[in-house]
């Protein structure tokens, strides 16, 4: 078979398409190509899932715990840093600051809760 016979077979198929339907055929070909890419993506995603299946549960727990612990840890570090900086600025010994820390926490908690109640009532 020569290239002319292949070309003639393709030309014969193209001659079967009625006039004015070229755009519809072009869109159909694009849809088929897009569907093939989507199916390849789904297949690749499924293959990755099967490879990582033993690790999915630990990864999800790590994401869940990490998303909760990171902001809490950042807030705690910020609070402790500010508390120690205030102790250094006021020249309070660390032992006295450590003893007074629970009292200070209760005092601030009570003050903020009273302010919250007064503001919202």
46-76 pLDDT, tens per residue? 999 999 999 999 999 999 888 989 999 999 9
Establish if 37 belongs to a structural domain: yes
Query: For the chain, where are the alpha helices, taking DSSP H only?
Result: 3-16, 22-89, 94-120
Establish if 79 belongs to a structural domain: yes
8 A C-beta contact, residue 83 and residue 101: yes
pLDDT bin (cut points 50, 70, 90) of residue 94 is confident
Domain tally for the chain? Answer: 1
pLDDT at residue 31 tops 90: yes
Establish if 118 belongs to a structural domain: no
How far is the C-alpha of 2 from the C-alpha of 33, rounded, in Å? 28
Q: Which domain holds residue 27?
A: 3-90
Average pLDDT over residues 91-95: 88
């Amino acid at each position: 078979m020569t290239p002319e016979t292949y070309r003639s077979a393709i030309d014969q198929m193209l001659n079967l398409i009625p006039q004015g339907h070229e755009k519809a055929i072009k869109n159909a070909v694009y849809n088929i190509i897009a569907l093939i890419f989507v199916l390849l993506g789904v297949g690749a995603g499924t293959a990755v899932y099967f490879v990582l299946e033993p690790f999915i549960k630990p990864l999800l727990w790590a994401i869940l715990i990490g998303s909760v612990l990171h902001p809490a840890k950042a807030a705690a570090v910020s609070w402790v840093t500010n508390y120690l900086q205030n102790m250094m600025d006021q020249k309070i010994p660390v032992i006295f600051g450590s003893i007074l820390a629970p009292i200070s926490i209760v005092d601030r908690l009570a003050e903020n809760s009273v302010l919250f109640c007064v503001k919202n009532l």
